[in-house]
Amino acid sequence: MRSEQQILEKIISIAKEDDRIRAVILNGSRTNPEVVKDDFQDFDVIYLVKNLESFGIYLNWIDVFGERIIVQMPNSMEIDEGDIESTDEIVYLMLFKDFHRIDLRLVKMENIKDCKDSLNKVLLDKDNLFSDILKPTDADYILRKPSQKAFADCCNEFWWVSTYVVKGLARNELIYAKEMLEGPVRKMFMKMMAWSAGTDHDFTINVGKSHRYLKSYLSPSVWSGIIKTYPRLNKIEIWQSLMEMTKLFDDKAAEVADRIGLTYNHVEAENVKAYLNEMKRAVFE
């Protein structure tokens, strides 16, 4: 397996030899001083380039980075209906046979403003584009205190879509019920859990992508409760998970609101909890 230094040297040397590439930026977890280093960290790299279109003519140019297991170009894929290929940048996600991964973005020179990130570390700057080079920090990723509207909208979405889960269970549409639980309901649930952690740490924390660091900022009992909210495709387990979610969400939403001076719509929460309780008979009859 290549070392971190060998990978970085390869990334920089490729840029030095190609006149189209004018600057190289590294960011992400490898530049975050708060993240514990491990062998699974990606190399998140930006090449600022001129003549972006020329890179798309001969796609095999990325072979110079190493022998790949798989590559993905998300900006040119049709995953969801209506996806449109981006013309402002080209993205290569590359996993190599030595298990390293490079996520490479090629960005037009004129879009340099779109590359602003507190975790940026400039590795190469041919044109002195970056006059003020600051030490990377995770300042852009610190959890923000919610506004009253953001808080109220999160609560409303959580309680509203919770009713969809029960409707799916009552119809024995378990895939639908689970997708509603794991999609919009969980998204709001985890947002509230993050805000709860934020209130305990004066909103100075970074919970990471997909809440990967959240466990570090929660009590063991709350974390244990969160674990209980992940069910299999089973009616009883989905119901129990939803009940655990509603209990934790209600408790933490009230606590967050009280501690940072927001208003929690207790009436809305109580109305939906009563509805869920009434619907239990339809679910299990």
Q: Helices 220-227 and 186-200: crossing angle, nearest 10°?
A: 180
Residues 219-260: tens digit of each pLDDT: 999 999 999 999 999 999 999 999 999 999 999 999 999 999
Buried residues in 109-125 as b, exposed as e (16+ CB within 10 A): eeebeebebbbbbbbbe
Read off the pLDDT band of 88 (50, 70, 90). confident
Give the total residue count for the chain. 285
**Structural domains of the chain in order of their starting residue, each with its CATH number:** 4-140 (3.30.460.10), 142-284 (1.20.120.330)
Percent of the chain at pLDDT > 90 equals 88
pLDDT tier for residue 80 given thresholds of 50, 70 and 90: confident
